[in-house]
Amino acid sequence: MEKKHFYISNDMILIPAILWGKPSTKLLLEVHGNLSNKEDTVISMLAQKAVKKGYQVLSFDLPKHGKRADEDYACIPPNCVSDLITVYEYAKLLASDISLFACSMGAYFSLLAYHDFDIKQSLFLSPVVNMERIIGNMMEGFQVSEKRLKTEKQIKLPIGETLDWDYYCYVRKNPICFNWKIPTAILYGSDDNLCEWQEISAFAERYQATVKVLNNGEHYFHTEEQLRVFDAWAEENLL
C-alpha cells in the first residue's frame, strides 16, 4: 500500500501527515486521541481497511503528539480546531467525498471543528462528547476547587494530566450543543473510565447516532479482543 509522509501548513505551523493509498474520489480523515499519533494501531488498522474499500486516507499528528511532541504549540481546543479545519481544507483538494474517523478527544475536537462541514459519515471510537464533565470529574477526584484552579492557572495531576484554567473556561463556553447532522456510528466500551455512558447515550439520542457497546471494553481499545471487535465494527459501518 502506498504511504506518503508529508507536512500540511497552517500558517507558520507544520502538521505532520500521512496519505495512505492511491488518489480516490473518497477520502477518510482520521483524528487520533490523547497519547496517540497518526500511525497508532486503530488508525493504521482502519486506514488499511478503508484503502481496500476504495478510499484514500489522511491522518495527522495533533499538537504535542507524535512528531509534534516537543513543539511550542499547545494541544488546546483553539489550536486543534484550527489544525483540523486546515487539514479538512487540504482534504477537499484531494477528494469531493469526505468521511471522518475520530477517537477519544479527537472526536471532541472534530465535533467542535466540523459541525457545519460537508462530511458524508463519521465513525467515533470512545468519543469525548462532554469535555467539561471529564475535567470536572478530574477536579473532584483530586480535590481541586474551581477557585484554586483559577488562581494557579495550571495544576499537574499525579496521573500525568494537567488541569488548565483557560482550557476549562473554553470548554464551558463551547459545549457540544450545536447541530451535528452527519450520520454517526459509535463504538464504546462498557468499562470506559473516562467517558460516562450517560453522556454517550444522551449524545447518541440527540444526534440519532448508532452505538455498539463492547462488554468489558475499555476507553483505550488495545487488547486482541477489543481490536477484533473494532475491526468488525469498522467493516460494518464504513460505507
CA distances from 156 to 7, 139, 153, 161 (A): 32, 11, 10, 6
- Asked if the model's pLDDT at residue 42 lies above 90, the reply is yes
Render pLDDT for 136-183 as a digit per residue (tens, 0 to 9).
Answer: 999 999 999 999 999 999 999 998 889 999 999 999 999 998 889 999
Render pLDDT for 44-103 as a digit per residue (tens, 0 to 9).
Answer: 999 999 999 999 999 999 999 999 999 999 999 999 999 999 999 999 999 999 999 999
- Asked if the model's pLDDT at residue 28 lies above 90, the reply is yes
- State the Cα–Cα distance between residues 192 and 181, nearest whole angstrom: 26
Same domain membership, residue 192 and residue 114: yes
Q: Is residue 87 helix, strand or coil?
A: helix
Q: What is the pLDDT of residue 150?
A: 96
Same domain membership, residue 203 and residue 165: no
Q: Closest by alpha carbon to 20, among 136, 101, 74, 85?
A: 101
**pTM across the whole model:** 0.96
* CATH code for the domain in which residue 124 is found: 3.40.50.1820
Instruction: State how far Cα 137 lies from the chain centre.
Output: 20
* Cβ atoms 192, 126 nearer than 8 A: yes
Same domain membership, residue 54 and residue 13: yes
Average pLDDT over every residue of 183-211: 97
How are beta strands 13-20 and 26-31 bridged, if at all? unpaired
Residue ranges making up the domain that contains 144: 131-175
* Cβ atoms 39, 59 nearer than 8 A: yes
Same domain membership, residue 107 and residue 35: yes
Same domain membership, residue 149 and residue 71: no
Q: What is the pLDDT of residue 179?
A: 85
User: How many folded domains does the chain comprise?
Assistant: 2
* Cβ atoms 144, 161 nearer than 8 A: no
Q: Which residues contact 47 (CB under 8 A, 6 or more apart)?
A: 18, 20, 21, 28, 30, 57, 59
